Amino acid sequence: MNQLSDNPYLLLTPGPLSTSPTVRQAMMKDWCTWDDEYNALVQSIRSRLVDLALPEHPECFDQYTSVLMQGSGSASVESVIGSVIPTDGKLLVLANGHYGQRIGQMAGVLNIDSYVWDFGESGAIDLPELDAFLAVHQEFTHVAVVHCETTTGRLNPLERIAPIVKRHQCEFIVDAMSSFGGVRIDVASLGIDYLISSANKCIQGVPGFGFIIANKTKLAACEGVARSVSLDLFGQWQGMEQGNGKWRFTSPTHTVRAFDQALSELAQEGGVAARHQRYSNNHYVLVEGMRALGFETLLEDEAQSPFITTFFNPSHSDYDFKRFYTRLKEAGFVIYPGKVSDADCFRIGNIGHVFPEDMARLISAIEQNCYWNAPSSEQKQLEHKQLETA
């Protein structure tokens, strides 16, 4: 049962998200970035992240490393884009939402030769077309995709995309911001060269840093490629390796300590499989309840992730998202506005320290606040008169 007595509401967003009281409590101690105890904690986190990324191939542990990077999740994405693609390389971005487009924007600002293949914000990646395209355009050296596109909640099929990318000998970059820790991903089986995620997503930490799980051989070849000092992925890796966990620049110590606790709680829950099941249960309760109230989902069920769900706004003239949002916040729930440019919608997240009973309470709150379906005063008067004459 979720207990958030010190918080006025649940964050039903794709991150930051509601955290456990014990994760928040972990931030109540100050740490020195030079202290051996703190740096040992960083090394432990790095090791456990690699373990999480190799559920099927633990024997490949020494072939991969993890690098922690200060800033938002987008900073970690930009670190990879700006650090691993050489001047003679070319990036193909598979985009079906805002965050795929953002990768393309980063490449453009960094003057990286790139092409954004836009499948539409609600569209699926055309896999046969991708295979044919890479067969013809052999100049591409890297392919990037967002695993769970938070714009809609679509889960792009890594297990089908990866073989195509590797068959054409491209390095594979995966933005797993909203999925890593919440669904099984094996970087060795998929041939992922760089997987990127953030502290404040499915592992249920707080904002402050992202992380990259990288193939050591590929990363070692990136020395001198970075287009930034602070976001130099190779430099950050070498700093942590040579300094036994020491960050090159000031690290978010409290966030790191909270993340250590969050990793422990993930293990206590039963690992990624158990967390995925809870998120799936949250999603099921949410979607069934919302559909019973007349709401429609944007995506088809088979493409939908269990992490965040997009719903169409009601078409009723009295409906206003801001008013709806405010009422739900007052009832103890914070939801998210829509991000799809060609659809009038809003989003609800299923991740964080949130449980199926919380989603059931949300459905009750939504039902009570469907003010646009409430009868008008004239209808109420008519119904009252009809009762009187009955």
CA 223 – CA 253 distance, rounded (Å)? 27
My answer on whether omega of the bond before 16 falls inside 30° of 0, hence cis, is yes
- Angle of helix 321-330 relative to helix 356-368, nearest 10 degrees? 120
CA 143 – CA 92 distance, rounded (Å)? 5
Sign of the four-CA dihedral 234, 203, 15, 277: positive
Q: pLDDT of the chain along its 390 residues, tens only?
A: 444 457 889 999 888 999 999 999 999 999 999 899 999 999 999 999 999 999 999 999 999 999 999 999 999 999 999 999 999 999 999 999 999 999 999 999 999 999 999 999 989 999 999 999 999 999 999 999 999 999 999 999 999 999 999 999 999 999 999 999 999 999 999 999 999 999 999 999 999 999 999 999 999 999 999 999 999 999 999 999 999 999 999 999 999 999 999 999 999 999 999 999 999 999 999 999 999 999 999 999 999 999 999 999 999 999 999 999 999 999 999 999 988 888 899 999 999 999 999 999 999 999 999 988 866 444 444 444 555 565
Q: Which domains does the chain have, with CATH numbers?
A: 22-268 (3.40.640.10), 272-373 (3.90.1150.10)
Token pair of 317, please? 């003239």
